[in-house]
Structure 1
Amino acid sequence: MSTVYIGSFTSWGPPVGPGFQAGTVDSASGKLTITGGVPGIVDPSWFTYSRDGRILYSTIESDPGKVTAFNVTDPQKPRVLNSAPVKGAAPTHISLHGRYLLAANYSSGSVSVLSLQGDGRVGPVVDVAQHVGNGRDPHAHQVVTDPSGKWIVAVDLGADSVYVYSLDSGKLKQNQQLKLPDGLGPRHLAFHPNGRYAYILGELRSEVTVAAWDPAAGRFTAGQVISTLGDANPPENFPAEIQISPDGRFVYASNRGHESIATFAVGEQGKRLSFMSTTPSGGSWPRHFTLGPTGRWVYVSNQRAGTINWLPRDPATGKLGTSAGSVAVNNVGIVSFK
């Protein structure tokens, strides 16, 4: 059995159950079973873990925004350690970088750097980088460390940009602003395991941009652009999540509106993507998905349907099958393996 943690939006409708829940997954059948929850957690929308796996950090997507730390030493009995403000609004994504926790604040269009205490508790904000929109308000949606471990990369939907920062003594310094086409709305990116390419998902244009990455210079160069829909033409579509298989052979992206997961084959050592297919997500508005530890199941958070669905995956071909089961989670936003 594997442990999963589930976050859902408690303020986006009548609350039904805890916003933060724990569960288990059977690797053979794919079945996800919810085992309990922590009451009083509001809008936990993204998780990341300490290197030793003892601490789970969660965004609290509120205004003002916060980050909450949970002790998950006993995986099925998480307990709150503390919460700390991010000095921004509606944090949608967090990640770790050494002794710091990084937060992408959607509503305020900023990236915050928070200190971490020795016991894993979240400390105060030590720096905030403010973005500027591109005809729209800035909306920072993701912040990660590049595979070299040297650079901080932030994706901003409202600025139509990917920012590259250095981080020294807790202070961010901009190294590059990769400006993408107006109205693309970049939301998330995923790096290829070889560390030489990244795949940038555009929420407003249903496109993936392949970008070459130079870790020595800390710079992206935009390349191929490919649709997440193939030949489909739904009335509306807003891609949300992008991930790459651990072997670097397949990229997946969720389509909210078309209600599907797109599959791409990776070619030329990461330089090019080829569209393979879309597979129904099993519900409505697939906000997030994640590959299970064995690579044989994909877990999709269908937010509007209020379900987590598990889809079978063939690791050899990368192909997904139709939903094999589901569990009800109201306004689900994320499912994450410990």
Structure 2
Amino acid sequence: MAELLVFVGSLNREAPYFQGARGVGLSVYSFNENTLGVTKLAETNEVDNPTFLSVTPDGAKIFANSEVFAWREGLVSAYGFDRATNALTYINKQPTLGSITAHNFITRDGTKLLVANYGMGSGGPDRSVVVYGIDDGSLSTPLASIAHEGTGPNETRQERSHAHSATESIAGNIAIVADLGIDCLVTYRIEANGSLTPLRETVLKPGAGPRHIALHPNGKFVFVMNELDSTVVSLSLDADTGAFSFIDAKPAVPAEARDHNHCADIQMSPDGRFLYGSNRGHDSIPIFAVDQETGKLTLVDYTPCGGSTPRNLCLTPSGGHLFSANQNADRISIFARDAETGRLTDTGHAIGIGTPMCVKITG
């Protein structure tokens, strides 16, 4: 399918840990994968700081986090998008029971939304992971929530728990939460009623700071992008117990740039052969080949991200193109991807938008 929908969350409220807020909020574009043409279809500034989005596969429903500094609780908003009229329609919103709401994920059966709260300071509900029901795009009140506790060796960034992402396993029914503050991957069974049953805590290298994960299509391999020590880790997942076993670890950035770099996103190619990350500081996209039998990683290349501060990446469903949301360049760069080598080529085409934070693409 050549004509795709591109959903973008951009920063529209200042926060002291971001370098400006020049965005509009929530935007929708069309992208022709053959011609590389981009057309804006809709936008709204009604969503405060949508730093992360999830979108249903048909592009009809969007769930946008609001990450606003000093709020004791963030918000998650549900919107509908009508392709026939190119209209965004507000559905509803819910409080997230925690501050600095960082990530969300639609479960594979489409019935629930997982939300991770990074959390800063103390006060308020201060929950790390929250589950909502989804009914025709409308979000229920929270079905369950859990708080993480602990610290890590990095006194500045790991003074408390910081849940940075919540993702469901390929097989379904297991939530994997990457907690940057306590250097842990925490797994939960997602019960039919939305409650969370704790399974395992897998401790990574002290000071690693796990942020986001990518899942191999085979359901066995899980790849973790560590923000604080700029490494990517390969693990195997036992889908029955939620336990991880270590496979491999590689630096995500050249050694000379490591002290001034903070990794952000990680994405898997649709065929499971290549892994892509984002380096903020080195401003590059590291590319790794994935051994399909062992899950081990081999560095292919570092590609300049086409701007600065690549916060988020997204591949088109075909895997033919990769988008890099370059936060401080006010630009989403569009790369062509070689399916055989995994390498990226900057097409020179881009979406110009202030402080892009998240990009999602559907057919």
Please give the range of the TM-score, normalised by the shorter of the 2 chains: over 0.9
- Give, in whole Å, the separation in 2 of the partners of 1:191 and 1:122: 26
Partner of 1:65: 74
The verdict on how the C-alpha distance between 1:24 and 1:53 changes in structure 2, with shifts beyond 3 A counting, is closer
| Equivalent-residue separation in structure 2 for 1:223 and 1:156 (angstroms) | 20
The number of aligned residues is 337
From 69, 74, 90, the equivalent of 1:80 is 90
In structure 2, the partner of 1:110 is: 128
What is the SS of the residue equivalent to 1:40? coil
Task: Please say if residues 296 and 315 of structure 1, whose CA atoms lie closer than 8 Å, have aligned partners that are also in contact.
Answer: yes
Partner of 1:146: 169
Match 1:207 to one of 231, 235, 249:
231
Q: 1:78 to 1:263 in 2, by over 3 A?
A: same
Matched, 1:306 2:330: yes
The answer as to whether partners of 2:170 and 2:215 remain within 8 angstroms in 1 is yes
Change (3 A) 1:266 1:230: farther
- Superposed CA deviations along residues 237-279 of structure 1, whole A, max 9, x for unmatched, are 1110101111111001110000000000111425200011100
Give the match's secondary structure for 1:205. Answer: coil
Secondary structure of the residue aligned to 2:344 is: coil
More displaced 10-residue stretch of structure 1: 30-39 or 166-175 = 30-39
Structure 2, unaligned runs of 5 or more: 120-125, 153-158
Paired residue type of 2:168: T
SS at 1:148 equivalent = coil
- Show the 5 A alignment for 1:1-338: 1-12=3-14, 16=22, 18-50=24-56, 53-62=59-68, 63=71, 64-74=73-83, 76-97=86-107, 98=109, 99-107=111-119, 108=126, 110-116=128-134, 118-135=135-152, 136-168=159-191, 169-233=193-257, 235-338=259-362
C-alpha deviation, 1:14, in angstroms:
6.1
Q: Which runs of 4+ in 1 moved over 3 A?
A: 13-17, 50-53
Q: Which runs of 5+ in 1 are unaligned?
A: none
The answer to whether the 8 Å contact 2:10/2:23 transfers is no
Instruction: Report the CA distance between 1:85 and its aligned residue.
Output: 0.8
Q: Which amino acid aligns with 1:74?
A: R
Post-superposition Cα deviations, 1:135-179, rounded to whole Å, max 9, x if no partner, equal: 321111111110111211111111110000012222212100001
Corresponding residue SS for 2:334: strand
Counterparts of 1:329 and 1:27, CA distance in 2? 20
The answer to whether the 8 Å contact 1:109/1:140 transfers is no
Distance 1:325 1:193 in 2: 29
CA contact (8 A) 1:190 1:244 kept: yes
Q: CA deviation at 1:337?
A: 1.0
SS in 2 for 1:304: helix
| CA displacement 1:154-209 (0-9 Å, x = unmatched) | 11111110000012222212100001111100001111111111011100011011
- Identity rate of aligned residues, in percent? 30
TM-score if structure 1 supplies the norm length? 0.94
Whether the 8 Å CA contact 2:25–2:49 is kept in 1: the answer is yes
User: Is 2:330–2:353's contact at 8 Å kept on the other side of the alignment?
Assistant: yes
Letter in 2 for 1:113: V
One-letter identity of the residue aligned with 2:129: V
CA shift, 1:296, in A, is 2.0
* 1:18-42 per-position Cα deviation (integer Å, ceiling 9, x unaligned): 2111111121233433333112211
Following the alignment from structure 1 to structure 2, what is the Cα–Cα distance between the partners of residues 165 and 17?
Answer: 35
Task: Note if contact 1:38-1:79 (Cα within 8 Å) is conserved in structure 2.
Answer: no
Determine if contact 1:310/1:324 at 8 Å carries over to the other structure.
yes
Q: Measure, in 2, the Cα distance between the counterparts of 1:279 and 1:51.
A: 29
Shift, 1:6, TM fit? 0.6
Which one-letter code corresponds to 1:210 in the other structure?
S
Change (3 A) 1:4 1:200: same
- Cα separation, 1, equivalents of 2:261 and 2:35: 31
Q: Between 106-115 and 37-46, report the one with greater CA deviation.
A: 106-115
Q: Which stretch shows the higher mean deviation, 118-127 or 11-20?
A: 11-20
SS at match of 2:293: helix
